[in-house]
């Protein structure tokens, strides 16, 4: 996964999701669930790289940040529950896919908290 198109294309392969650009700033592409409108991937450009914000379990988020320099506390989101993945070629694609999958499943539930 190297660019915005690749990131959006991968996320759109999940069931019952849609692409959204709710902000005037067209830099942000959000991938949401149809059923509950929750976002599971925030895709944007920052510092000449594409970034993807994804939700994860707090303990695993911390571990991933320790394992990869290009996984950092989420830009503009809750730092405990969300990570930013910087697509700079240093994170194995399998790891990126797993993080997106986790975010998809964590945001799919109809929870009224978080």
More confident residue, 92 or 111: 92
Q: What is the pLDDT of residues 15-42, one digit of tens each?
A: 999 999 989 888 999 999 999 999 999 9
Q: Determine the pLDDT at residue 105.
A: 97
Phi and psi angles of residue 94, each rounded to the nearest 5 degrees, phi first:
-60, -40
**CA–CA separation, 62 vs 11, rounded Å?**
23
Q: Determine the pLDDT at residue 110.
A: 62
Q: What is the pLDDT of residues 38-51, one digit of tens each?
A: 999 999 999 999 99
Tokens describing residue 34:
């149809």
């Amino acid at each position: 996964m190297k660019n915005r198109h690749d990131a959006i294309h991968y996320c759109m392969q999940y069931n019952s999701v849609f692409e959204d650009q709710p902000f005037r700033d067209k830099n942000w592409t959000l991938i949401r669930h149809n059923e509950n409108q929750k976002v599971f991937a925030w895709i944007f450009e920052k510092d000449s790289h594409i970034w993807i914000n994804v939700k994860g379990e707090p303990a695993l988020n911390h571990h991933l940040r320790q394992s990869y320099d290009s996984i950092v506390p989420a830009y503009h989101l809750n730092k405990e529950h969300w990570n930013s993945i910087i697509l700079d070629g240093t994170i194995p694609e399998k790891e990126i896919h797993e993080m997106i999958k986790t975010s998809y499943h964590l945001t799919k539930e109809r929870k009224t908290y978080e």
